[in-house]
Amino acid sequence: MVMFLFLVVALAVVVAAVTLAVVGGGETGPLPEAAPERLQDPLPYDRPVNRADVEGLRFPLAARGYRMSDVDDALARLGAELAERDARIADLESALAGAQAAAHGAHASHVSMEKPAQEDQ
Tens digits of residue pLDDT in 50-100 = 888 888 888 877 777 788 888 888 888 888 889 999 999 999 999 999 999
> Is 46 inside any structural domain?
yes
- The span from the CA of 70 to the CA of 58, in Å, is 10
pLDDT of 106 reads 77
pLDDT of 55 reads 82
> Is 120 inside any structural domain?
no
19 pLDDT band, cuts 50/70/90, is: confident
Residue 115 has pLDDT above 60, yes or no: no
pLDDT of 114 reads 61
> Is 30 inside any structural domain?
no
> Is 100 inside any structural domain?
yes
pLDDT of 93 reads 95
CA 35, 41, 44, 48 torsion-angle sign: negative
pLDDT of 96 reads 95
What are the DSSP calls for 63-121, one per residue?
TTEE-HHHHHHHHHHHHHHHHHHHHHHHHHHHHHHHHHHHHHHHHHHHHHHHHHHHHH-
> Is 118 inside any structural domain?
no
Identify the domain containing residue 57 by its residue range: 36-111
pLDDT of 25 reads 56
- What is the rounded average pLDDT for all residues in the chain? 80
> Is 20 inside any structural domain?
no
* Residue 40 vs residue 104, higher pLDDT: 104
The proportion of the chain whose per-residue pLDDT surpasses 90, expressed as a percent, equals: 26
- The span from the CA of 54 to the CA of 82, in Å, is 13
- Looking at the structure of the chain, the number of domains it has is 1
Q: Is 51 helix (H, G, I), strand (E, B) or coil?
A: helix
> Is 23 inside any structural domain?
no
> Is 117 inside any structural domain?
no
- Where is 4: in which H helix or E strand? helix 2-23
Query: Could you tell me the end-to-end alpha-carbon distance of the chain, in angstroms, rounded to an integer?
Result: 125
